[in-house]
Structures are given as C-alpha cells and as structure tokens.
Amino acid sequence: MTTFAGPTTTSDYIALDDRWSTHNYHPLGVVIAEAEGASVTDVDGKSYLDFLSGYSAMNFGHRHPALIAAAKDQLDRVTLTSRAFHHDQMGLYCQELAELTGTEMVLPMNSGAEAVESAVKVARKWAYQVKGVPDGTAEIVVAGSNFHGRTTTIVSFSTDETARADFGPFTPGFVTVKYGDAAALRDAITERTAAVLLEPIQGEAGVIVPPAGYLAEARRLCDEAGALLIADEIQSGLARTGKLLALDHEGVRADLYTLGKALGGGIMPVSAVVGSRAVLGVLKPGEHGSTFGGNPLACAVGRAVIRLLATGEFQERSTELGAHLHGRLGELVGKGLAEVRGRGLWAGIDISPGGPTGRDASLALAKLGVLCKETHDATLRVAPPLVISKAELDRGIDAIAQVIKPS
Ligand SMILES: *Cc1c(COP(=O)(O)O)cnc(C)c1O
C-alpha cells in the first residue's frame, strides 16, 4: 500500500499557498482546519478565539447549527437553477429580506462588490430615467477612505493607492469628499448627482464612526437635491453594531442598502441591494443579472439568516457585549491604546506610538490564541462573532491588553 505524503504541518500548507495562489493577501501564519462558534482550530490542533469574524461575515459564529441545517436541507433539494427559471426559495427570501429591512424590493447578487456595482448601475439608470439627468453625466458622491470592494469601477473611487495603482484607466463619474464632513458633502452635490454612497461606519478604514448628525444631514442633503442615499451596510449591517442596520442608530433611512458578508451566514457569498420600488424598479429584463445571484442554496441560507436576525437576539448580544468591550478597551486608552472607536461588538483600536505595529500585535495575539488583524499600520479591528461568550470576550481583551502594554 502506498500512502501519499500530502501537507501535514502549518509550514507545508503555507508553502503550498505561496507556490500556487496569487499573493494578493498577507495572511497571518495560521492554517485553520476546523471551527465552531467563536473558536477555530489549526492543523496543529491549536485553538484560537476568532476576533475578526471574517470581517463580519461570521456574525453568527462558525457553523451556526440553524444555518448549517438550512444549507444541508437545501443541498438535498436543489442548489442552482440560474435565473432562466423560477425556484421555490427566491420569492420567499426576497419577501422576508424586504420585510426585515423595511424595504420594498430585493436585487439578489453574490459578493459584496457585486452588490455595490449593482447599486451604482441602478442609481445611474434611475438618474437618467427618473431624475432626468442628461445622458452620460450622472455623478455619484463617495467618501474618502471608503472601502466598497475590488472591482475596476469600485477601485476607481477608492482613495487607497495600493488598491488602485496600475489598475487604470478608471471609471469616471465619481466625486470624492472627506468622510464625516457635511459641508464638503453639501458642496459636492449638484443637479447631476445620482446618489451619495456612504458606509454608515467605515470598517476597513479602522471602524470610523462619523460625527453625530452627519448621516442625518446626508439624508437631508439628498432629499433637497433629489439624489439617492445609498448605505453600504455590507460590514456594518446585520446586527454587527447592535441594530439590524448601522443607519438605524441615527433614525435615518437610505433609498438603497447594500448587504453582504453575514447575509451568507459565513457559508457562502450572498449579497443584495435592497430598497424602494421607485428605484430598483428601473431594472428591466436583460439589463442586469448574475448566474448565481438568488440561487436556491443562497436563498435558503439567507432565509435562515433572516430568521436569526428577526429574533433580535444577535442585536441584543452585540449591544450588551459591545458595551462591555468598549468599557474595557476604554480603560486601556493611555495604557497602550491611543484611541478606541466603534459601536456594538465592533471596535477599531489605535495602538499608541512606541507600541507594537498592528502586524506585530496581530502576531503576538495569535501566539496567545486570539485571531485579530491589523487594518492599518497601528490599527486593529476587533469584531468577534456575536455568539461569543462574555468569558471568551474577556479572554481576548486580556490578550489585547497584554500585547499593547507599553514596555
Ligand atoms: C467587504 C466589503 C465590501 C466588499 O465585499 P466582498 O464580498 O469582499 O466583495 C464592500 N463594502 C464594504 C463596506 C465591505 O466591508
């Protein structure tokens, strides 16, 4: 009998990735083999607390039983039809998602970037067909330090040079203003403005919460100019901040929301644009689509996610555990942390000058059994799954306190 000597150790697996996959990421040297709830286990059998949740794709933790059951059940029935035919999950999924989010229509897509692309296309079409903007001149106002995904059009309005360099020529029609600056937003909106596209909290930028009143003012300016407000809630939405949508904290409604990440329950890519019929209704057959968008498996998983969110339990956990997280992190300001931002179980923490880099802090945390990731030089993003226990949360915060401690 011959046995194939495949990869077994962490370094074997990393060497394989390095040799055979493109190098567009710089992951920590941990190779995960199994996961459950807020914990993951690597190929060496070492277990870690997940303090990142796949950038909020794992809000319900790893392999939530209700989500896995829904996926397994659907795997035994039908997984893909394409949109050439109807199937028995999509209408229910769209109805339930619209009702959950208080919207009227759903455009089902797969990745977050696709949802943002779709919202951009819909806003432009709406501007020409409904608002009456002269053909080819519509503008979308976006914020500096945004993150909306990685497609060519989306990186066209990124302000991150690493994300843009050598990918031009870029898509025109975007105007960038400083995030959080209502006066700059007012000055940028014209009669050609189709939409203002904002993250209610900028996750990738370091969990940046805008000044109080900014989002309400953005809503008011859009109403005044007859422009759409598009909220990218792909990371901030679906209970991460303690409410279903981060905009809910401000009592503000958007015309369109982009959703993704946690909508797929950490099982598969599921994204959507949700919003009003007056806007999403502009799409006619053949004008937009996706082979996998709204597939039966995605809809079945999405429906199970919606059922979890409808209980309010995860929003409550985020609020309660988030208060504890922010209370404890706040005590570290001046003791290794320069600043703590965020809402609910979501925090961006800036390490004080003289402390470790974000990368070194992430490496030190991994040694202590906590998986976290730097988002900028000295900034860590803390986003544990909302199923985490208070004891686990405390263990992770203790580890953070230890690695950022000034020497
Ligand atoms: C992650 C993210 C996206 C892109 O989602 P992908 O699924 O990675 O394409 C877009 N917007 C925001 C706010 C995100 O956090």
Q: Is the CB of 200 under 6 A from ligand 1?
A: no
CA of 9 to the centre of ligand 1 (A): 32
> Which residue, by CA, sits nearest to atom 7 of ligand 1?
112
> Which residue, by CA, sits nearest to atom 11 of ligand 1?
148
Q: Does domain 65-310 have CATH number 3.30.300.20?
A: no
The ligand 1 atom at the shortest distance from the C-alpha of residue 235 is: 15
CA of 151 to the centre of ligand 1 (A): 11
Q: Is the CB of 111 under 6 A from ligand 1?
A: yes
Q: Give the Å distances, CA to CA, from 228 to 124, 161, 187.
A: 10, 28, 16
Q: Is the CB of 149 under 6 A from ligand 1?
A: yes
pLDDT of the chain along its 407 residues, tens only? 556 678 999 999 999 999 999 999 999 999 999 999 999 999 999 999 999 999 999 999 999 999 999 999 999 999 999 999 999 999 999 999 999 999 999 999 999 999 999 999 999 999 999 999 999 999 999 999 999 999 999 999 999 999 999 999 999 999 999 999 999 999 999 999 999 999 999 999 999 999 999 999 999 999 999 999 999 999 999 999 999 999 999 999 999 999 999 999 999 999 999 999 999 999 999 999 999 999 999 999 999 999 999 999 999 999 999 999 999 999 999 999 999 999 999 999 999 999 999 999 999 999 999 999 999 899 999 999 999 999 999 999 999 999 999 87
Q: Is the CB of 148 under 6 A from ligand 1?
A: yes
Burial class of residue 231 (count of CB atoms within 10 Å of its CB; 0-12, 13-18, 19+): buried
CA of 186 to the centre of ligand 1 (A): 26
* Positive or negative torsion for Cα 386, 389, 393, 399: negative
Beta bridge partners of 229: 196
pLDDT at 5: 76
Q: Is the CB of 143 under 6 A from ligand 1?
A: no
pLDDT at 406: 81
Element of type H or E holding 122: helix 112-126
CA of 235 to the centre of ligand 1 (A): 7
pLDDT at 3: 63
- Measure the CA–CA gap between 145 and 373, rounded to whole angstroms: 18
pLDDT at 201: 98
- Known catalytic residues are 147, 232, 261
DSSP string across 355-382: S--HHHHHHHHHHTTEE-EEEETTEEEE
Residue ranges with strand state E in 151-234? 174-177, 193-198, 228-232
CB-based contact 263:305 (threshold 8 Å): yes
pLDDT at 1: 55
Burial class of residue 377 (count of CB atoms within 10 Å of its CB; 0-12, 13-18, 19+): exposed
Q: Is the CB of 237 under 6 A from ligand 1?
A: no
Cα 223 to the center of its chain, rounded Å: 26
pLDDT at 57: 98
pLDDT at 296: 98
pLDDT at 212: 96
Closest CA to 79 of 278, 238, 291, 240: 291
